[in-house]
Structure 1
Amino acid sequence: MRGLLFSTIIATGAIAGSALALDVETNGYARFALQGNNIAGNEGTGFAKDWEFEFKGKETLDNGMTVFVDLEVDAQGNDDLRTDDVTFGVSGGFGTVTVGIFNLGKVKAGQGLVPTAAGSAYGFGGLEAGDNQRGWDNGKTSLHHYSDRPSIAYTAPKISGVTVGAIYSTDDGEGQQVGLTAENTRINTISVGAQYGLSAGDAKVTVGAAYTNMEAQNPANNDDSSMIIGATVGMGAFTIKAAYKNGEHDADYDLAQVNAMYKTGPWTVSAAFAQGDNEGQDYQGYDLGASYSLGGGAKLMAGYTTDETGNNDSVALYGVGLQVGF
């Protein structure tokens, strides 16, 4: 598998090199908010900030294939710049091959083919990312595994509304040469998934499923395997999302999420609920969000997110803010 990965990277780079120039587009956002929180009875207030820029480029070659590159730069609340997902690849009649440093939810392959219940009208809210769910067991709060890793993905051409694809992420801590980054905590991961979509008028339905196995680095530990199913139904101003994940590591765990969003004029409102169980301990979370568009990519936001564990540890986050996007 390693040989296939490196050969594909070399071949993709060679093809990309024949393109003299890429059509580049940029997009992104900047967010700033005043937030309050309550963690197990301890209250506090402060400012929150987040911003991200994304650069995309693509070029169609004389042979009909398309090469592309996607670079994300963000701060995620920190002052220092950093690169997030970095992907590039080639697509054609054979499908799409993507390589780079990215998470399992980034590309349309494996887990990335499964609709999740992510999303909040408040930019700092949402139950999917797990950022606010500090009371939950790490790694069980989100339907996707979000750690960025050296990966290769293949997505087959869509046939009769069905798309299938797979992702392989490496454990690149083995035998790295000087000057290369050794990610000694990473593990080999394989994720395979499928998606089916249909639309009629202003109604659109998308369903997907994926199986993922994350190999334990220590042979004494158990692998982490999981199955995810999800669906999104959109009709007019309404969007309803639902997803369920069941996995096994040292013990069984599961997570279910539902999300509803409604848009009318400049207003967007959202509500989400998540219920999970890990080793017999229950978890649940709620998220309410609202935003008002000011035009020109700017909007005002407000939201409230809370979660609670089986041992009565609770976290609540609430705030108001401004987002400018382009």
Structure 2
Amino acid sequence: MKKVLFATTALIATAGVAAAEVKFSGYGRFGIGYIEDRSTNDNVSDTALVSRFRLNIDGITETDGGVRFEGRVRLQADDDASTGEAGSAGLNGARFSVIFGGLRVDAGNVAGAFDNLANYYGNEPGLENFIGQYSGVDYEFLAYSSTGSGANAVFFQYAVGDFAFGASYDQNTTNNGNTALGGADQWDISATYTFNNITAALAYGQTDGPAGADDPSLVVLTLGAEFGDFSGTLFVGRDSDTPLNDAGEETDGTNYGISAAYNVGSALTLTAAYGDGSADGDTQQYGIGAIYDLGGGASLRGGIGRSKVGSADGTTRADFGAQFNF
């Protein structure tokens, strides 16, 4: 994402202390989206305007010793996919970071080890990135919230050479059905290694289960590679002791997926993704998309795909529109 510095402020009067700065960055997107049988309400059309405006606000300063302090909040406005109307807009929870060399520590509304894992999301087709290789995963891990307060958690990462190690901890999560006594402890860890044009990453996470039950968990292995104009990712995982889906079908099992991107020319990139799982209640997704670079951080994007949850009927989805980064 191209980031442009809009405003900086030199604040601190102490001699030799680096200047503080405030940065604004983000993107906007808008277009047309189609969801088959979008709603049971006859007055809601399957085709509707889709949009998002995202503004990141970062406050940054650095000490004499080279320790960098950051704070981020995000303003975001989205459409409501279920109704085709404008959705909620507001300020999310704050994330605070301390960075020194290869060490980074985040606190507050943080992304955990899975949410930060290299190639977890892969290439997601569509203006709205509605198809993912990870679709078979039913475990709810610690993730950054763009529109809510998020978790009050901590994330740690250390990178040295070609290796990177990460870990996160959330003391009172309600993920994976853990609502008793206000929540349960959740943690995850990861390791990443990059060699030449290939990146391999492995992560494991676990949540304290309800009294008398096993602890829900997830393990994921990803591989990503670039070969000239082609890039691709592989995804394999396994979740256990996750809740049944809405139809009461089993969701524990192996998850797998693949995604790819190919630069056809100087401006056009084609994308594709497929995700599924071995359990009866897992979500299967597949689709293709295209991105046409207009220059200056603007592009035309679109995609078409299909999603199916367990034994339920599949749903076709498509979109097309413009995105501009700033």
- Whether the aligned pair in 2 keeps the contact of 1:117 and 1:242 (CA below 8 Å) is no
Cα deviation, residue 166, structure 1: 0.8
Matched position secondary structure for 1:213: strand
Matched, 1:156 2:158: yes
- Normalising by structure 1, we get a TM-score of 0.76
Residues 118/157 of structure 1: CA separation in 2 closer, same or farther (3 Å cut): closer
Match of 1:189 in 2: 186
- 1:161 Cα deviation from its structure 2 partner: 1.0
Gaps of 5+ in 2: 1-13, 80-85, 243-249
Equivalent position amino acid for 1:92 in 2: F
Deviation at 1:297, TM superposition (A): 2.0
Are 1:149 and 1:186, in contact at CA under 8 Å, matched by a contact in 2? no
Shift of residue 168 of structure 1? 0.4
**Greater helix share, 1 or 2?**
1
Is 1:103 the counterpart of 2:111? The answer is yes
Q: Which moved more, 1:315-324 or 1:19-28?
A: 19-28
- Please state if 1:212 is matched with 2:205: yes
Please say if 1:89 is aligned against 2:75: no
Structure 1 match to 2:27: 29
Task: State which of 62, 65, 73 in structure 2 corresponds to 1:60.
Answer: 62
Contact between 2:138 and 2:239, CA under 8 Å: does it hold in 1? no
Residues 151 and 168 in structure 1, CA contact (< 8 A), matched pair in contact too: yes
The amino acid of 2:99's aligned partner reads: S
| Secondary structure of residue in 2 paired with 1:219 | coil
What root-mean-square deviation, in Å, do the aligned CA atoms of Structure 1 and Structure 2 show? 3.3
**8 Å contact kept, 2:173–2:186:** no
User: Which AA in structure 1 matches 2:198?
Assistant: V
The amino acid of 1:22's aligned partner reads A
Relative distance call for 1:94 and 1:256 in structure 2 (3 A) is closer
Bigger shift: residues 38-47 or 83-92: 38-47
> How does 1:1-326 map onto structure 2 within 5 Å?
21-39=19-37, 44-77=46-79, 78-84=86-92, 86-93=94-101, 95-104=103-112, 109=113, 112-128=116-132, 140=138, 148-158=150-160, 160-171=161-172, 186-199=183-196, 204-216=197-209, 218-250=210-242, 252-263=252-263, 264-278=265-279, 280-281=280-281, 283-326=283-326
Judge conservation of contact 1:125–1:287 (CA < 8 Å) in 2: no
* Separation in structure 2 between the aligned mates of residue 221 and residue 39 of structure 1, nearest angstrom: 37
Contact 2:133–2:257, Cα closer than 8 Å, also in 1: no
- State how many pairs are aligned: 285
Q: Distance in 2 between matches of 1:257 and 1:192?
A: 21
1:83 counterpart letter in structure 2: L
Query: Segments of 4+ in structure 1 off by > 4 A?
Result: 18-21, 40-43, 141-147, 182-186
* Conserved 8 A contact 1:140-1:255: no
Task: After TM superposition, give the deviation of residue 243 of structure 1 in Å.
Answer: 1.2
TM-score, normalization: structure 2? Answer: 0.76
2:24/2:57 contact within 8 Å kept: yes
